[in-house]
């Protein structure tokens, strides 16, 4: 079965990272790379958590069928940096609505996630939030494209998400911490662990 994290990773070329770094005003590409790694892992883990119930999987499947067919991935650079946001149909506008996607996927945890990403990468909260809004459509687009190509039902969606998270967690301490973070209610020891990890995770996600 396809690994969603690997598919997401393949979308972020050196050129795309350069453009994102410039767009959010980061000090360097390494910060952007570290933040992007954390964001993609967090959104995938949050989607897996949401899709773990039949109701959540049904809602996700409906959203993917309605708004996220993967067509925005035809121009990843334009989608991420705003060049693909002109003259959109209502469906395309929904597919590109990063803020709306984050609200549905993360709910009340969004500000805590931004804080976590900032601790991981060294970006400020504004930069982390902007990058999250840019990357969220890519996550849903990639999942929607896979759903369409593999004809996944609700169970299949839940399966690809959970297996992608488990696979990444077995090789990536970052994903393990993120999963724990999403399962907790407060700002306890997991946030301390993430702050301690900091920039040490740089580059690991994108190494081939």
Residue-wise pLDDT for 129-168, tens only, equals 999 999 999 999 999 999 999 999 999 999 999 999 988 8
The answer to whether residue 169 sits within a structural domain is yes
The answer to whether residue 147 sits within a structural domain is yes
- The answer on pLDDT for 5 being more than 60 is yes
pLDDT band at 182 (very low <50, low <70, confident <90, very high): confident
Amino acid 206: pLDDT: 40
Per the CB < 8 A criterion, the answer to whether 68 and 140 are in contact is yes
Per the CB < 8 A criterion, the answer to whether 141 and 68 are in contact is yes
- The answer on pLDDT for 208 being more than 60 is no
Q: For residues 47 and 120, what is the distance between their CA atoms, to the nearest angstrom?
A: 20
The answer to whether residue 52 sits within a structural domain is yes
Q: Specify the number of domains making up the chain.
A: 1
The answer to whether residue 35 sits within a structural domain is yes
Instruction: Please name which of 172, 161, 140 lies closest in space to residue 65, comparing C-alpha atoms.
Output: 140
Amino acid 156: pLDDT: 94
Decide which of 81 and 71 is more confident: 71
Which residues 6+ apart lie within 8 Å of 142 measured at CB? 4, 7, 8, 11, 70, 73
- The answer on pLDDT for 207 being more than 50 is no
Q: For residues 182 and 184, what is the distance between their CA atoms, to the nearest angstrom?
A: 6
Residue-wise pLDDT for 24-80, tens only, equals 999 999 999 999 999 999 999 999 999 999 999 999 999 999 999 999 999 888 888
- Which structural domain, as residue segments, surrounds residue 107? 4-201
Which two three-digit tokens encode residue 67? 């708004």
> To the nearest whole percent, how much of the chain has pLDDT over 90?
59
The answer to whether residue 124 sits within a structural domain is yes
The answer to whether residue 207 sits within a structural domain is no
Amino acid 192: pLDDT: 60
The answer to whether residue 18 sits within a structural domain is yes
Amino acid 77: pLDDT: 85
- The answer on pLDDT for 200 being more than 90 is no
The answer to whether residue 83 sits within a structural domain is yes
Which two three-digit tokens encode residue 86? 């002109």
Residue-wise pLDDT for 111-131, tens only, equals 999 999 998 899 999 999 999
Coil vs helix vs strand at 127: helix
- The answer on pLDDT for 85 being more than 50 is no
């Amino acid at each position: 079965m396809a690994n969603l994290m690997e598919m997401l990773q393949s979308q972020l070329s050196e050129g795309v990272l350069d453009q994102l770094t410039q767009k959010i005003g980061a000090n360097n590409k390494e910060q952007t790379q570290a933040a992007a790694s954390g964001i993609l892992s967090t959104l995938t883990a949050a989607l897996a958590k949401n899709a773990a119930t039949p109701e959540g999987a049904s809602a996700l499947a409906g959203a993917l069928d309605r708004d996220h067919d993967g067509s925005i991935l035809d121009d990843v650079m334009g989608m991420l940096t705003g060049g693909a946001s002109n003259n959109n149909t209502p469906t395309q506008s929904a597919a590109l609505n990063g803020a709306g996607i984050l609200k549905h996927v993360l709910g009340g945890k969004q500000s805590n996630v931004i804080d976590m990403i900032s601790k991981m990468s060294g970006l400020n909260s504004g930069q982390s939030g902007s990058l999250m809004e840019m990357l969220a459509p890519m996550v849903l687009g990639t999942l929607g494209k896979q759903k369409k190509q593999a004809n996944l039902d609700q169970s299949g969606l839940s399966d690809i998400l959970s297996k992608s998270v488990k696979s990444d967690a077995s090789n990536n301490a970052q994903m393990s911490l993120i999963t724990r973070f999403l399962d907790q209610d407060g700002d306890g020891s997991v946030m301390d662990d993430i702050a301690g990890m900091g920039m040490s995770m740089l580059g690991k996600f994108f190494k081939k």
